[in-house]
């Protein structure tokens, strides 16, 4: 079970929490927090796309 955890969602939260330093939201209100979270997820996905081709070289 523990080895399967790395292929699920937890590394995404770890990456956003540590490397992007999102330990709390800077905005108030549910819609604003959702927007901020979506921006962090968008950045995470763009970085994944940018680094995708580097693994094979």
Over residues 32-50, the pLDDT tens digits come to: 989 888 888 888 888 888 8
**pTM for the predicted model, two decimal places:** 0.62
Q: Which residue has the tokens 């992007």?
A: 20
Q: What are the structural domain ranges in the chain?
A: 1-55
* pLDDT for position 31: 92
Cα 40 to chain centroid distance, Å, stands at 6
Cα 16 to chain centroid distance, Å, stands at 4
C-alpha 22/C-alpha 33 separation (Å) is: 12
- Of residues 34 and 55, more confidence is placed in 34
By residue count, the chain amounts to 57
């Amino acid at each position: 079970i523990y080895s399967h955890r790395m292929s699920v969602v937890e590394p995404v939260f770890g990456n956003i929490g540590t490397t992007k330093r999102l330990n709390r939201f800077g905005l108030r209100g549910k819609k604003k927090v959702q927007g901020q979270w979506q921006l962090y997820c968008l950045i995470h996905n763009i970085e994944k796309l940018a680094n995708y081709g580097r693994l094979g070289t």
